[in-house]
Every structure is written in structure tokens, then in C-alpha cells.
Chains A and B, each alone.
With several copies, the nearest count.
Chain A
Amino acid sequence: MREITYCDALNEALRQCMQEDDRVVVLGEDIGCYGGIFQVTKGLLDEFGPDRIVDTPIAEAGFVGACVGAALTGMRPVAEIMFIDFTTVCMDMIVNQMAKMHYMFGGKGRVPMVLRTNIGAGRGTAAQHSQSFHSFFAHMPGLVVAAPATPYDAKGLLTEAIKNDNPVIFVEHKRLYISKGPVPEESYTIPFGKAEIKREGRDVTIVATHALVGSALEAAEQASKEGIEAEVIDPRTLSPLDKDTILNSVQKTGRLLVADEDNKTYGFAAEISAIVAEEAIYYLKAPIIRNASPDTPVPFSPPLEKAYMFGKEALMESIRRLMAYA
């Protein structure tokens, strides 16, 4: 299969959905001739014109709220928020409107919209452009939260997000935009709430998200050389969350490592840990380890930012720690 980047996979999903359905429009800052700050909307303005690819002013509450109103009335808008950090300026529209209308209205209105954004440190952009607080959205009943880790998943999940009748927070990852992988040319969807076992293994379960899926796979390869077989599970959507796949795996391996880039305390990893502590604790042979970002704002200075981030090495260390328990 042809290989394309995560960025191009997203672009293709948008393009195909827009070709197929006039109701799909995209709103955001610099998504037109600029092609989006990360080039995800490149070329779409030329193909679909400024009525459907709408460059907006810096008025996130305004245009995300407009997406809510448009979605309620028959459109399928996609909003781009340049960095997840900026969802804070339109948080009411997300949390109190987009997420809750269907429920508050007794199931009578629908908000089929997608809010695309991205997480991740590593570009030297400091504390207000590098955050990863996706778990907050997953915590909000009413929102679907997608978290693609590969170009294949990026395209399939975004297509599903656009076609799905629920409001979706679509959380991309900055460092993944340039990663490459096989992606079918035709349109396809990946269902929400279905984790993927990216690698099977009997000794330790790694639940990983976003860029850490890749790190987990690398760590698993190395562990394999040491005779340890790690199973790598990518939830793909954080809400709905495919608990069963995780619980089944833990029942098999008896060891759990959660790897996610949100800050550790009160973050994504805590929930995975808590589910297992609640529903599968008797299968555990070891404590549950979380590899997550430190509880600090993201520092600017290159060596500090580097220390803030983690990957294969940290996961290997955790795997070894877990295997130290009989």
C-alpha cells in the first residue's frame, strides 16, 4: 500500500468527506491559502473555495460556537483549533454547548461537528503551545475523543468523526504530522470505541496513546530481545474507551504500563489504572506503572523540554521494573 504522512492522511480524509458531502465545511485560522499551520488543510481552499474553507479571525468562541449552531441546523462543520492550548478560549462552547446539547434537549438536537486540534511538546514552543490535556475532554460526558497514532488511524478516525452524529474532539499530535505509514486511497472509517492491539504479547500490557504508541512498539521490540513479550494496545478513542480489550489483555499478562503524554496527576493514565484496579486487580502480578508527562508546565529551554518528554527508554525502564515482579 502507498505510504503517506499523518498530515496528508488527515488532509485526504477532509478532502474526501468534502467531496462526498456538501454539508462539510471547515473553519479555522489560517486554513485557507496558508493550508493550516501544520498543512493539514493544504489545497482545500483551491478545491472547495472560501465558502467552505473559511479563514476565521482569532475568535475561537465565536467560530466554534458557530459550528455548534451550524451542526444543530444541518451542517457538518469541522473546526480547527491551532493548538489544544487555545481550546481554553472557547471552552464554554465545547463543554457547555457542544457536549451537552443533545442531552439537555432530551435527544432532540444533534451536534455532528468535529473540533480538530493537536497536543505534544518538542517544538520549543513553551508552556502555552505544547500542552496535552486531552483527558479533560474525555472526562466530559457527551464528547467523543479520538486520538490517532498512525496515518491509517488518522484518516479512518477523521472520516468516522465527520460522518458520526456526535460531537468529536479530534486530538492530533504535533510530532506525528510528518510520520509516514500505509493508508488506503479510498475512504474508510474506523469505529469509535474499538482499541487496536498494535502488537500481541503475553508478559506485559502497554496501553499507549499518540506518539507513545510508536515508542511502545519500539520498546516492545527491544524487550523482545530480552525475552519479554509486550502487548501494545492503542485505545484510538479515549471516549468511548474500549475497556474490554484492556481488561482482557491485563488478565492475560498480569502487568500494566500506561503511556500517555498528558500530565501524570489526574490525567489519562490514572483512569486506565483505576479501571484495572477496580475490575481486574486480582490478575495483577505487579503495581501499575504510569509513564506520563511530569506535573509541570512545558519548559522552553531545549534541555528541559527534552527532559520533559519521554519515549522508548522510559518505557523500557518501566517494563523492566514490571518484569522484576514474579
Chain B
Amino acid sequence: MDPTKDQLISLYRTMQTIRLFEERIVDLYARGEVPGLAHLYIGEEAVAAGVCAVLTDDDYITSTHRGHGHVIAKGTELEPMMAELFGKKTGCCKGKGGSMHIADMDRGILGANGIAGGGLPIAVGAAWSSKWRATNQVTACFFGDDSSSNGTFHESLNLASLHKLPVVFVCENNGYGISVCQAKCTPVTDVASRAVAYEMPGVVVDGNNVLEVYEAAAKAVKRARAGEGPTLIECKTYRWRGHHEGDPNQGARYRTKEEIQAWKEKCPIERFRKKMLKDRITTKKSLGKIDDDISEAISEAVKFAQESDFPAVEEMYDDIYV
């Protein structure tokens, strides 16, 4: 199950694409080009990259309010994605959804979700659907640590385990709700420890180590495809920026600078980059080339978004019903 060299490079590329994409959003948001709420994923890239790397194009994911990383990792093209964040007609959702509702049915992305915990039952349904339709598809369900306090977590894990559904629950534990730290949300230290309450395996992984994530996800996906039921994976990670762009001082109202700095030193991309170079998987130069390609693709996506039209006002009334 060890990733091949190509796969390793692909993991890097995914993480770096997310990082550079998000960094561009910081700038675009500050300039007012990306409106609304942008919840950035910087610092958590290894989770989306590691999990989505073991999924096929046919597999499903449900995403969250902090969904850009998942969407990129699952393979949506940057141009329609960027255009969606701009609210343009060429966006994945024709500009109607924006950051919190990006979806891409062609790639099994069943939507970001503005409701914390809202994606879990939907993931259960997608997994149930592949069981009913007797396909081999697996659903990966991303959700945050604080969202796991919601009743949907309980109902969903119970149903999924009861019916042995092919779903992988991925808790992205970045230690905080918006400003509320985990210790104020729940008495448990590990969300994954709750797996026993549903008779499913629960594992904690270093969410800033893409290979650990990859490995745990590969195992869970294998189990799911074999019809053995769901797994709960908790990835310990951290968001570097505020809850959303506009959160004052990148969330320094509720987190210390030291804490933020300590996590930055555990940067998932930097760590992986170092490891790849040390293991001689690739060279600095190749990685530099990848970075440049990504930057260029993002610039093109921005250009595409900027040059695209807004939807016509009458389109407001389209798509309410089929």
C-alpha cells in the first residue's frame, strides 16, 4: 500500500496547490474580489490530500464550510472553482453557491456545507446509495472537531456502522470551533475514541503528516470497499489563519501567537518536502517546477474568474426547481 514515487509527488502537488490557492484567496479577499465568507484551509492540507489520494474519481466526498482543500484534492479544476468563489457564471455552481456550497457532481463532490455537521448524514446516504446500487464506491466524509459535538455525528456514525456502509469519517481536528477550544466543547481528548460507541475502528493520526493520513485512509477505504463498514479517522492539525478571512488578527483573540507559531513549524508541506528530498524521491528543482506550474495555473484561474461574467440577474430565478 506504500505510495509510489508518482503518488508521492502527486501528494505534494495537491498540498501545494491547496496552499497556493488559499494564499491567493487571502489576497483576493482582502481586495474584495472574493466576497462572503472564506474559511481557509492553510495548515491542514495533508488531510484532504492524504484522504483524496486514495479515492477514485467515482468515489464521493462531503465537505464542510472549510472546503477548498477537499474540492481541490478531489480534482475539481481550478478555473470553475475560482470563478465560483468570485460568484461568476462560469463557476462550478454558476455563482450561486460560493465558497460554502462548492459542489462538483462530476467528481463526486456532494457539496461543501454551511451547516456544521450537516454533511455527515448526506455522506451516509451516498454510501448507502452505492450499497443499494451495488457499485464499489466509497464516500469520505470530512467534518471538524467541533462539528462532532452535533447530534448528526451520533446519528450518522450509528447508522453507518449498523448497516456497514462504505464511508470513511474524517474528523479534521484543528483544536477549535470558531474561537472555542476543544476543551470547552467536549470532555474527550480524542474524537476518535468515540468510535467504540459505534463499534467501528477509530484511529488518531498526525494530520500534518500526509503519509500517516494516506495510510490510515487507504486502510479505511479498503475496509469500506470490502463491505466491512465505516472507520473514524481523526487527524490532528491546525488552521494557521483566522476562522475565516476577516477573523481579527488571524484568531489571535483566542489563540496565543506561540501556539500558532508552534504549529507553523509543523507545516505539513514543508515536512513532506524535506522528507522527499532526504529520501531522494525528487529534487529541489523538480519541486520548484511544480510550484511554478501551480502558481501559473492559479493565476490563470484568477484571470479566468476575473474575465468571466457575473450571472444575469434573471438567473436568480433559475434552478430553484428542476
Contact = CB atoms under 8 A, between A and B. Distances in A.
Contacts of B92: 105-106, 108
A298 to B, nearest CB: 9
A300 interface: yes
B101 A75 contact: no
A142 B320 CA distance: 5
Contacts of B111: 101, 104-105, 109
A58 B147 contact: yes
Contacts of B60: 73
A125 interface: yes
A285 to B, nearest CB: 32
A88 B113 CA distance: 14
Contacts of B123: 69
Interface stretch (A49-57, A170-178, A222-230, A318-326): A49-57
A61 B155 contact: yes
B103 interface: yes
Interface residues of B, number: 75
Contacts, number: 282
Interface in B79-138: 87-89, 91-98, 100-101, 103-105, 110-111, 113-118, 120-130, 132-133
A301 B88 contact: yes
A304 B92 CA distance: 16
Contact of B151 (A23, A61, A73, A307): A61
Nearest to B310: A303
Among B97, B186, B254: residue with most chain A CB under 10 A: B97
Contacts of A129: 37, 100, 114
B156 interface: yes
A263 B319 CA distance: 17
A96 interface: yes
Nearest to B98: A300
B112 to A, nearest CB: 9
Given A123-B36, A142-B320, A66 B122 contact: yes
B178 A128 contact: no
Contacts of B88: 301
B125 A73 contact: yes
B319 A103 contact: yes
B136 to A, nearest CB: 13
B133 A75 contact: yes
Contacts of A89: 115, 117, 150-151
Contacts of B173: none
Given A69-B110, A104-B101, A308 B316 contact: yes
A58 to B, nearest CB: 5
Contacts of A299: 95-96, 311, 316
B152 A300 contact: no
B62 interface: yes
A73 B129 CA distance: 7
A97 interface: yes
A127 B132 contact: no
Nearest to A67: B125
Contacts of A58: 116-117, 146-147, 149-150, 177, 185
B310 to A, nearest CB: 5
B100 A70 contact: no
B184 interface: yes
B265 interface: no
B158 interface: yes
A301 B114 contact: no
Interface string B148-166: 0111101110110010000
Contacts of B130: 73
Contacts of B3: none
A37 interface: yes
Given A58-B177, A124-B37, A294-B317, A68 B121 contact: yes
Interface string B181-212: 00011100000000000000000000000000
A30 B124 contact: no
Interface string A118-146: 00000111111100000000000110100
A75 B132 contact: yes
Interface in A22-49: 23, 25, 29-30, 32-34, 37
Contact of A66 (B115, B125, B149, B151): B125
Given A59-B151, A105-B103, 9 more contacts: A57-B162, A58-B177, A66-B124, A68-B125, A69-B123, A72-B110, A104-B93, A125-B36, A296-B320
30 contacts: A57-B162, A59-B155, A59-B158, A62-B149, A65-B118, A65-B120, A66-B122, A66-B124, A68-B121, A71-B125, A72-B122, A73-B110, A89-B117, A97-B113, A104-B96, A106-B92, A107-B319, A109-B110, A110-B322, A124-B37, A125-B114, A127-B114, A128-B100, A165-B322, A166-B321, A300-B95, A301-B95, A302-B87, A304-B311, A307-B316
Q: Which 3 A-B pairs have the closest CB atoms?
A: A65-B121, A69-B125, A62-B155
Interface of B: 35-37, 60, 62, 87-89, 91-98, 100-101, 103-105, 110-111, 113-118, 120-130, 132-133, 139, 146-147, 149-152, 154-156, 158-159, 162, 177-180, 184-186, 253-254, 310-311, 313, 315-322
Interface of A: 23, 25, 29-30, 32-34, 37, 51-52, 55-75, 77, 85-86, 88-89, 92-93, 96-97, 101-110, 112, 123-129, 141-142, 144, 164-166, 240, 294-297, 299-304, 307-308
